[in-house]
Amino acid sequence: MNVVIGGNPIEIITSDVAFSRMLREQYADFIEPINNHRAAIQLTVDIQVDSPDSSAASDDPRLDDELEVRLDSGKWRLTRGDFYASYDPVTRTGSVRQSANRHSIDSVVRIIHSLSLVAQGGFLAHSASAIRHGRAWLFAGRSGAGKTTISRLAPDDVCLLSDEVSFVRQSIDPGEKFLAWGTPFTGELGKPGANCCAPIQGICFLEQAQENSLTAIGKAEALRLLMTNILFFADDPELVRQVFDIAAETVEAIPMFRLCFAPDARVWDLIQ
């Protein structure tokens, strides 16, 4: 199957029928014909019944502390308790050995996207995101900050892109600097985002409070907060520097806010 997120295709190849069926259900709105994407990344997934340890699988998009992502002889090696993967960025091919767990392949796909997005001037963010009035908003914050809550409170005119992992990349339209795209990666809401995109109007850093308020923040603080919420897993100084530069461009191009909110739908009156 060819899973296309943010215009970036990853073809997942597996001989395990039950696993394939599960992925087709999870990624349903993001599957497109392979012949439409000549440069698709190919991942061959080998399902192991007893190993790796499926109990290590995590729903947290930050992944576990034991995760290792390193460049070895031109190939990326991705290792965690529930999977082992190898990815060649030149041939755009890779292999994954894992248990029959959706969260494991989700993690591998996220990591590969985080690596590939650097060259496209983009990143994955630990944030909810949504489109309202044709513009996208990101709602970033640590676990428990309220990403799922603000997603659940969204009114009917809001198109949810994600309640957990947002996909951001530079736009080819000179009039728009960055776009936010929907992803199939789910948080507590358990619902994949819509497969669409929009120019980013603003990025909000969430804080729970007694009253709702939306306050602009300075570029230095915004950059610090944004870097805290960018999902990047590789221990590679040059790529980390590039991610920092992309974050700095984002802060210069997009308004940044602190969104303090109480858990009621009136918070969306601030998002226009």
**Which domains can be identified in the chain, with CATH numbers?**
2-120 (no CATH), 123-270 (3.90.228.20)
Tell me the helices (H) and strands (E) count for the chain, helix number first: 5, 16
Torsion, Cα 166 197 188 77, to 10 degrees, reads -40
Of 122, 105, 113, the residue nearest 26 (C-alpha): 105
Q: What is the mean pLDDT of each run of 10 residues along the chain (272 residues)?
A: 93 94 94 74 87 49 71 95 94 94 92 95 96 96 87 94 94 87 89 94 94 96 97 94 97 96 90 86
Q: What angle, rounded to 10 degrees, do the helices at 102-117 and 17-26 form?
A: 60
| 234 Rama class: left (phi>0) / alpha (psi -120 to 50) / beta | beta
Q: What is the pTM of this model?
A: 0.90
Reduce the DSSP state of residue 259 to 3 states and report it: strand
Please write down the HEC assignment for all residues of 95-141.
EEEECCCHHHHHHHHHHHHHHHHHHHCCEEEEEEEEEECCEEEEEEC
Q: What's the confidence (pLDDT) of residue 52?
A: 47
Q: How far apart are CA 59 and CA 48, in angstroms?
A: 20
pLDDT of 61: 47
Structure tokens at 81: 């308790």
The whole-number pLDDT of residue 38 equals 57
d(CA 242, CA 250): 12
